[in-house]
Amino acid sequence: MPIGLRAEGLRKVYTSPPPLAAAGRGFGMAFRRRPKQDYQVTALDGLALEVAPGEIFGLLGPNGAGKSTTVGVLTTRIRPTAGRAWIGEHEVWKERVAVKRLIGVVPQRPNLDHALTAREILTFHGAYFGLPAEERERRARELLDRFQLTDRADRLVLGFSGGMLQRLSIARALMHSPKVLFLDEPSAGLDPQTRLLLWDLIRRDNESGTTILLTTHNMEEADALCNRVAIVDHGKLIALGTPAELKSSIPGGYVVRLHFAGEPPEALLTTLRKLPGVTEVRAPGPAAVDLYADRGGPLIPEIARLSDDARAEIRDVKISEPSLENLFLHHTGRSLRD
Amino acid sequence: MNVKTFLAMLRRDAHVARRNFVTLLLQTLFQPMLLVFVFGKVMTTSGLIQPEYKGMLLPGIIALAMLLSGVWSVAMPLVSEFQFTKEIEDRLLSPIDTDWVAVEKVVAGMLQAIAAGLVVLPTAWLVMGSGVGLSFRQPFDLLALVLLVSCLAAAIGLSLGTSVGQTQIGLMFSLVIAPMIFFGCAYYPWSSLARFPVLQKVVLVNPMVYATEGFRAALVPRFPHLPKRAIYGGLVLFDLLFLAFGLRQFRRKAVG
């Protein structure tokens, strides 16, 4: 039976810099008395989520949106400042051990045990979760095979490529057959081929009943994998729905970007605004114009005619179909890659 | 507590220790053996130091070897696992309360410290040759000391490993470990500091003093040593202190 998860009013305020920013610092070596720095970052600001059993759920947002903090809170690694979360029926902060049994976690940066070989990483992980010796050997063999790591199984992971590390991380997370799998930026830094393989593995695992929550700033990934997507920014939920719903929710989901030879006359912009189906016209640069519209191609002849009439020469036309990228832009005024 | 998980983590550490057996052996044996050879053999044989000194030195060397290997085996992996490789997350996500992950580290460190003591004692004895004059008439004292000293080593390792930054490892050795060794009464008994009354008082904050004096009391009781009550009191106190501090630091690192 697949299980779901939910979270209510999650807030997390960091009062000290994150470990990476403070890398290598232990004792402060303060010879002079420095004023205590006021460090306060609100990573999560009242986030609520509900992921249905058996779903692939995506958290989409730019860097620093609070995605990893959300995963940290849901996986017992970060204590929320306020709010509660449940994995199935278990409250995360109160029943940590029970929760840890149910979840598998693939971190953003591989954290594989460097002192062990790939196979040992899997078998020891199985042992931590109390699998009997025979079963963990069998399962490790199976997963190594499925993740195409068999030929490297008995080597230390030190020399593994990024893709191999990532695959092994996922294999490890699956060793104890978790009910809910968390993947934090699973395909960051992977080549397109490895990414496709990864998506396939994630889908197959989902089909066998695992609920999956993944974070990404790649909307193509969210689109390809997720049943539902939550868009987060500054620790808040901005939009939620299936990729198709979300895309159709933008007024005029299409964006037609025109590049002119020179600055187009103001009158042209006014007439373009009056075209049927066009909801908004913006000029992001001196020679560029963005039309937000409910259609793409069919508008082109009319645009070409109007431009011709206004003696503005079109150099380039780019039509982008409704996408999560456009949606994010629409909701936040920022691009995902900003 | 989840016994299966705890034992599996111990097994993991034992497995890694076995894999690095030679390195570990050299690491724990080499330095004490140099000391034993120079002070216990060269200088006593050449007449620069009285042969009696051998018996004085050996308990100190055992305490030194146990402390160094215990501290090292807990602190070094923790520094890198928490800060650099994040490997520890694997165990923090195991179905066991995170405090037990710290306890497991301490138990593994104790076992390594005990192993180091077991290796150093006969080897050092052999190198020094005749005239060491160890007494094994207090086996229970010896057993209690081995447990308390190994626990002390591992607890100091836990405290340092969770408090020291990666860039401060060198500093940790020159500012913490080196003074601890030199003022740890390993090369001289505590009573010989009588001419330095202030120093004699100050070194009592050094937990190593109780370890070296303890082994002296157990193995070569003919030499002057701290009273047993002070030895056990000091060891228990520092064990608890470093365990509590280490555990607190571990929790702060383990949960964001």
CATH number for position A308: 3.30.70.100
pLDDT at A25 exceeding the cut of 80: no
Q: Which of residues 60-89 of A touch B (CB under 8 A)?
A: 72, 75-79
Cα–Cα distance, A282 to A333 (Å, whole number) = 12
Question: DSSP characters for A19-42?
Answer: TTTTTT--S---SS-PPPP---EE
Residues with Cβ < 8 Å from B18, sequence gap 6 or more?
Answer: none
Which tens digit of pLDDT belongs to each residue from A163-221? 889 899 999 999 999 999 999 988 877 888 888 888 998 999 999 999 999 998 877 88
Domain end, chosen from A215, A232, A247, is at: A247
Q: What is the pLDDT of residue A58?
A: 94
**A44 & A189 share domain:** yes
Strand partners, A228: A57
The residue with tokens 């997963």 is: A143
Domain end, chosen from A193, A223, A247, is at: A247
Angle at A144 between CA A138 and CA A150, to 5 degrees: 110
Mean pLDDT value across chain A: 84
Question: Do A229 and A77 contact (CB within 8 A), yes or no?
Answer: no
> Is B166's CB within 8 Å of A100's CB?
no
Considering the domain boundaries, does residue A333 fall inside one?
Answer: no
Which tens digit of pLDDT belongs to each residue from A274-302? 777 777 777 777 778 887 877 677 778 87
Calculate mean pLDDT across residues A264-268.
76
Q: What is the pLDDT of residue A233?
A: 87
Which tens digit of pLDDT belongs to each residue from B3-47? 999 999 999 999 999 998 888 888 778 888 888 889 888 998 898
Name the nearest CA neighbour of A246 among A20, A58, A3, A88. Answer: A58
At A87, which CATH number?
A: 3.40.50.300
A24: confidence class by pLDDT, cuts 50, 70, 90: very low
Q: What is the pLDDT of residue A91?
A: 94
Considering the domain boundaries, does residue A230 fall inside one?
Answer: yes
Name the nearest CA neighbour of A245 among A324, A333, A130. Answer: A324
Q: What is the pLDDT of residue A37?
A: 62
Would you call A38 helix, strand, or coil by DSSP? coil
Considering the domain boundaries, does residue A328 fall inside one?
Answer: no
Lowest mean pLDDT among A51-60, A191-200, A265-274, B75-84: A265-274
Which tens digit of pLDDT belongs to each residue from B108-122? 999 999 999 998 898
pLDDT at A7 exceeding the cut of 50: yes
**A101 & A225 share domain:** yes
Which tens digit of pLDDT belongs to each residue from A145-157? 998 899 999 999 9
**A51 & A112 share domain:** yes
> Is B95's CB within 8 Å of A111's CB?
no
Quick one: tokens of A188?
């960051």
Q: How many domains does chain A have?
A: 2
Name the nearest CA neighbour of A264 among A317, A318, A314, A316. Answer: A314
Calculate mean pLDDT across residues A14-19.
70
Cα–Cα distance, A106 to B143 (Å, whole number) = 44
Mean pLDDT value across chain B: 91
Quick one: tokens of B113?
């410290």
For the entire predicted model, the pTM comes to 0.84
Residues with Cβ < 8 Å from B11, sequence gap 6 or more?
Answer: A124, A127
Q: What is the pLDDT of residue B210?
A: 96
Q: What is the pLDDT of residue A23?
A: 44
B105: confidence class by pLDDT, cuts 50, 70, 90: very high
**Structural domain that includes position B31:** 3-254
Which tens digit of pLDDT belongs to each residue from B122-160? 888 888 887 788 888 889 999 999 999 999 999 999 999
Angle at B18 between CA B13 and CA B24, to 5 degrees: 95
**A188 & A265 share domain:** no
**A164 & A271 share domain:** no
**A268 & A189 share domain:** no
Strand partners, A42: A13
Which residues of chain A does B96 touch, with a Cβ-Cβ cutoff of 8 Å? 97, 100, 128
pLDDT at A318 exceeding the cut of 90: no
Question: Do A7 and A48 contact (CB within 8 A), yes or no?
Answer: yes
Q: How far is B131 from chain A, CA to nearest CA, in Å?
A: 43
**A228 & A154 share domain:** yes
Q: How many domains does chain B have?
A: 1
B216: confidence class by pLDDT, cuts 50, 70, 90: very high
Write out the residues of chain B at the interface with chain A, using a CB-CB cutoff of 8 A.
Answer: 2, 4-5, 8-9, 11-12, 15-16, 19-20, 83, 85-98, 163-168, 255-256
Q: How far is B113 from chain A, CA to nearest CA, in Å?
A: 20
First to last CA, chain A: 40
**A232 & A282 share domain:** no
Query: Identity (one letter) of the amino acid at A84?
Result: R
> Is A26's CB within 8 Å of B8's CB?
no
Would you call A51 helix, strand, or coil by DSSP? strand
Share of chain A above pLDDT 90, in %: 39
Calculate mean pLDDT across residues A78-107.
93
Q: How many CB atoms lie within 10 A of CB B240?
A: 12
Lowest mean pLDDT among A106-110, A230-234, A301-305: A301-305
Q: How many CB atoms lie within 10 A of CB B65?
A: 29
Q: What is the pLDDT of residue A307?
A: 77
**A199 — phi, psi (to 5°)?**
-60, -40
**A178 & A59 share domain:** yes
Q: How many CB atoms lie within 10 A of CB A91?
A: 14
Helix (H) or strand (E) holding A238: strand A236-241
**Structural domain that includes position A150:** 5-21+38-247
> Is A27's CB within 8 Å of B94's CB?
no
Name the nearest CA neighbour of A236 among A6, A70, A71. Answer: A70
Q: What is the pLDDT of residue A336?
A: 61
Q: What is the pLDDT of residue B110?
A: 96
**A258 & A187 share domain:** no
Query: Identity (one letter) of the amino acid at A16?
Result: S
**A82 & A176 share domain:** yes
**A78 & A201 share domain:** yes
